[in-house]
């Protein structure tokens, strides 16, 4: 008989521990079993299994509790290999979450223990040739010859009718069988060859290939410097050595060109993991990785858990991107997981960006990471020239329009030359909010502490947090006045404005709303690439990874929107956003220009963007961080306290602060203060921010505090290491 230690996920049981069960058979760790739990039957993971000579009765006498037998072994082979099981332990500790939640987040949804979903394996009818025999008709004979030349031909691809095939099958020359197939989400097959690398690219590739151990490289390459080509050729070398590559991108849907590049170079050796695949497609891609059929995995955040064996290289493109931080439990930082796996596989980890995060760049300067640079665009193409437009001046000249006169002229010129324009407005929807001019009330979401946004296509006012929506009525809900006004402007309004003000404008709007459909991103970008439209207007989604050769003008409608976010990273985010979006201009043969509209043209961030001076930005921003004691000069931990009753949230948060100050005297505790969005979906939220330089006793103290309050159940406490939103 065997004793098993089983991890379970149970809503009434949040603590991280295993339960003992008995089994007559040996079960490998990492396999799932179904077990009785109270009166329920649930599913858990086996984390240990050892033999015992004792009987159930003897064990119970000895331990003083009752043992149950498992009901069934679900997996014959462990779902997660040894490496990923180890990783789950590390992650649980680093993120203060349960080991089961870490294991869960590594699996595709179909394999999660709690999942009710079952996605079947897909089968397809294929024709199997059996033997050559004389057939009844010449047509059948002809078909048989064809089949002989096309082994395992899918029935649907066969030029002969099913009637003919059935007749041949009856005579015993062929057999129609069911064969397992993979759903392939990317059927396009364009073959593309490697470019000869430039000397600078070659130098980077050589340097990284020399490394046969764990080392983190920070590849700082300006936009258009050919980082993608470096990734591709590094990957080729690694798979030629018989190893595999993990290629991470911020969001697949936003980086279709990276996916296309890998697919066209490596074809079926690549698996793509992302959220917009159907669950069947995703499951199939996952199985192809498990079955060792792919050499390269391209995917967004969760792909960092791809069950690849023999990893020889891990790449994280756009390493600064906020999407690499998981914002729900377990709140991991992708680069931390990537580096753990790099250590495990003794391979290099490459973090690439035109605008590295301050954390990474400071590590590179300290020598923790190895810095590689591509400071020039390919073929010495100049970076676009950037002009700041002072919107205060526009108002002085009585222009209250969304666009300055200069930008209008420039857009018209660009369109007239048959070139394309990209416009950034970091706000979706039509107008930001509705204000009553009589009583000054703003129409807000009743569940969240934010204003509702007007959506023109559906004529609704919507909450961007909980998706609450009501029909748009031109009347104040507070005083009943009809003297209300839509204020501010989002992407939908700009779209309309452009269509009304530029005769030859053909506009595509690219934001969360316009790309909701499964292939939404792809379709819109294809249309822009095919010149069906000449203006692409969008939110920060247009800033990443797009490469359109005919775009020669990029306009930023309001740079101040992101500078004024109440977040210590506001400057950094703005620098990154503006540098990235500027980089979309002039990537082809023609020189590109950029205009940025702002009310603060002298702001140092904007000046650094104008001069493409990352080093200067880094220097100045680091001074600010040092003065204010923010990362990278310390680690931040956010402690979120939330609950339905406002007084309880406030009172408990204060108690926690006292506890933390006593237990962790070397840690600075800010707050508790209401979160930027104080009320979300009827839950009140207070936050404390810890500034940490020494981690002594840190994990244990926080874990104890969380366990205590979460068990009591009045409020819910979440600790977030390296939070990305405040």
Residue 479 annotated as binding site: yes
CB 285 within 8 A of CB 271: yes
Q: Which of 209, 211, 378, 634 binds ligand ADP (CB under 6 A)?
A: 378
Nearest C-alpha neighbor of 321 from the set 626, 572, 584, 606? 572
Q: Which of 481, 501, 710, 726 binds Zn ion (CB under 5 A)?
A: 481
Can you read off the two tokens belonging to residue 643?
């609950």
Q: What is the DSSP letter of 147?
A: H
The gap from C-alpha 282 to its chain's centroid, in whole angstroms, comes to 15
Residue 445 annotated as binding site: yes
436 lines the binding site for Zn ion (CB under 5 A): yes
Nearest C-alpha neighbor of 5 from the set 54, 60, 55, 67? 67
Residue whose CB is less far from Zn ion, 532 or 682: 682
Question: How does DSSP assign 492-510, residue by residue?
Answer: HHHHHHHHHH-TT--EEEE
214 lines the binding site for Zn ion (CB under 5 A): no
| CA–CA separation, 469 and 399 (whole Å) | 34
Taken in order 574, 575, 576, 581, is the CA torsion positive or negative? positive
302 lines the binding site for ligand ADP (CB under 6 A): no
Residue whose CB is less far from ligand ADP, 370 or 381: 381
233 lines the binding site for ligand ADP (CB under 6 A): no
Query: Applying CB under 6 A, which part among 143-151, 227-235, 488-496, 535-543 lies near ligand ADP?
Result: 227-235
Minimum separation from the CB atom of position 543 to ligand ADP (A): 12
Nearest C-alpha neighbor of 133 from the set 97, 168, 85? 168
Helices 520-529 + 256-266 axis angle, to 10: 90
552 lines the binding site for ligand ADP (CB under 6 A): no
Partner that binds at residue 448, options ligand ADP, Zn ion, none, CB closer than 5 to 8 Å by kind: Zn ion
Strand-strand pairing, 683-692 and 668-680: antiparallel
Partner that binds at residue 224, options ligand ADP, Zn ion, none, CB closer than 5 to 8 Å by kind: ligand ADP
Residue 463 annotated as binding site: yes
Minimum separation from the CB atom of position 10 to Zn ion (A): 30
Can you read off the two tokens belonging to residue 385?
């020239």
256 lines the binding site for ligand ADP (CB under 6 A): no
Q: Which of 214, 465, 497, 633 binds Zn ion (CB under 5 A)?
A: 465
478 lines the binding site for Zn ion (CB under 5 A): yes
Nearest C-alpha neighbor of 165 from the set 124, 127, 111, 219? 127
Residue 105 annotated as binding site: no
**Residue 194-223 contact track with ligand ADP, rule CB under 6 A, x = bound:** -x-xx--x-------------------x-x
CA 297 to each of CA 249, 345, 481, 521, 659: distance values in angstroms, whole numbers, following the listed order: 11, 16, 57, 21, 45
CB 694 within 8 A of CB 536: no
Q: Which of 228, 453, 514, 597 binds ligand ADP (CB under 6 A)?
A: 228
Question: What is the total count of residues that contact ligand ADP (CB under 6 A)?
Answer: 14
Q: Residue 243: which residues within 8 A CB-CB, separation 6 or more? A: 310, 311, 312, 313, 347
Residue whose CB is less far from ligand ADP, 224 or 555: 224
463 lines the binding site for Zn ion (CB under 5 A): yes
Minimum separation from the CB atom of position 194 to ligand ADP (A): 9
579 lines the binding site for ligand ADP (CB under 6 A): no
The sheet carrying 716-721 orders its strands as 668-680, 683-692, 635-643, 716-721
Partner that binds at residue 616, options Zn ion, ligand ADP, none, CB closer than 5 to 8 Å by kind: none
Binding residue ranges for Zn(2+):
436, 439, 445, 448, 463, 466, 476, 479
- Footprint on this chain of ligand ADP (rule: CB under 6 A): 195, 197-198, 201, 221, 223-229, 378, 547
């Amino acid at each position: 008989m065997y004793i098993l230690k089983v991890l379970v996920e149970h809503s009434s049981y949040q603590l991280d521990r295993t339960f003992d069960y008995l089994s007559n058979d040996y079960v490998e760790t990492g396999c799932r079993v179904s077990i009785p739990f109270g009166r329920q039957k649930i599913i858990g993971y086996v984390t240990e299994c050892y033999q015992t000579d004792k009987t159930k009765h003897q064990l119970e006498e000895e331990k003083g509790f009752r043992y149950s037998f498992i009901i069934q072994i679900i997996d014959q082979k462990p779902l997660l290999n040894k490496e990923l099981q180890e990783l789950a332990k590390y992650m649980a500790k680093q993120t203060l979450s349960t080991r089961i939640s870490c294991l869960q987040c590594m699996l595709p949804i179909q394999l999660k223990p709690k999942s009710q979903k079952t996605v079947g394996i897909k089968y397809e009818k294929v024709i199997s040739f059996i033997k050559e025999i004389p057939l009844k008709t010449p047509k059948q004979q002809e078909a048989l010859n064809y089949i002989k030349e096309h082994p395992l031909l899918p029935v649907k691809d066969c030029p002969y009718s099913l009637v003919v095939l059935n007749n041949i099958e009856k005579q015993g020359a062929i057999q129609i069988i069911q064969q397992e197939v993979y759903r392939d989400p990317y059927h396009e097959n364009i073959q593309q060859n490697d470019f000869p690398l430039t000397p600078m690219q070659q130098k980077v590739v050589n340097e990284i290939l020399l490394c046969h151990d764990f080392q983190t490289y920070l590849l700082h390459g300006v936009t258009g410097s050919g980082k993608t080509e470096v990734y591709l050729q590094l990957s080729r070398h690694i798979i030629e050595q018989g190893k595999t590559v993990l290629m991470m991108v911020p969001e697949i849907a936003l980086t279709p060109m990276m996916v296309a590049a890998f697919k066209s170079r490596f074809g079926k050796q690549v698996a793509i993991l992302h959220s917009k695949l159907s669950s069947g497609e995703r499951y199939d891609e996952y199985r192809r990785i498990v079955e060792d059929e792919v050499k390269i995995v391209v995917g967004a955040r969760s792909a960092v858990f791809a069950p690849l064996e023999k990893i020889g290289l891990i790449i994280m493109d756009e390493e600064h991107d906020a999407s690499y931080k998981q914002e729900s439990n377990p709140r991991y930082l992708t680069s931390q997981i990537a580096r753990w796996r790099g250590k495990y596989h003794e391979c290099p980890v490459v973090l690439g960006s035109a605008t590295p995060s301050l954390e990474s760049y400071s590590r590179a300067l300290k020598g923790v990471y190895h810095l590689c640079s591509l400071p020039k665009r390919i073929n010495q193409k100049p970076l676009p020239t950037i002009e700041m437009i002072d919107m205060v001046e526009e108002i002085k000249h009585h222009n209250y329009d969304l666009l300055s006169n200069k930008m209008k002229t420039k857009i018209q010129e660009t369109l007239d030359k048959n070139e394309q324009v990209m416009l950034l407005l970091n706000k979706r929807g039509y107008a930001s909010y509705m204000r009553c001019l009589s009583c000054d009330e703003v129409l807000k979401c009743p569940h969240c502490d934010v204003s509702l946004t007007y959506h023109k296509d559906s004529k609704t006012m919507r909450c961007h947090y909980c998706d609450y929506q009501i029909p748009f009525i031109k009347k104040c809900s507070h005083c009943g006045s009809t003297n209300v006004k839509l204020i501010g402007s989002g992407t939908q309004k700009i779209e309309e404005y452009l269509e009304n003000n530029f005769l030859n404008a053909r506009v595509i709007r690219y934001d969360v709303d316009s790309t909701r459909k499964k292939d939404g991103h792809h379709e819109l970008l294809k249309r822009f690439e095919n010149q069906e439209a000449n203006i692409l207007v969008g939110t920060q989604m247009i800033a990443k990874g797009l490469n359109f050769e005919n775009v020669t003008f990029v306009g930023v409608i309001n740079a101040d929107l992101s500078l004024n976010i109440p977040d210590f990273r506001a400057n950094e985010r703005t620098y990154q956003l503006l540098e990235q979006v500027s980089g979309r201009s002039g990537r082809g043969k023609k020189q590109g220009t950029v205009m940025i509209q702002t009310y603060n043209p002298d702001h140092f961030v904007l000046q650094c963007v104008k001069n493409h001076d990352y080093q200067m930005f880094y220097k100045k921003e680091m001074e600010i961080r040092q003065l204010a004691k923010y990362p990278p000069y310390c680690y931040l931990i956010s402690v979120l306290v939330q609950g339905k009753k406002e007084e309880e949230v406030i009172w408990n948060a204060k108690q926690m602060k006292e506890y933390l100050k006593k237990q962790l005297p070397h840690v600075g505790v800010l707050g508790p203060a209401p979160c930027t969005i104080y009320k979300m979906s009827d839950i009140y939220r207070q936050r404390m921010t810890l500034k940490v330089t020494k981690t002594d006793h840190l994990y244990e103290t926080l874990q104890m505090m969380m366990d205590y309050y979460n068990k009591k159940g009045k409020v819910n406490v979440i600790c977030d290491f390296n939070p990305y939103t405040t």
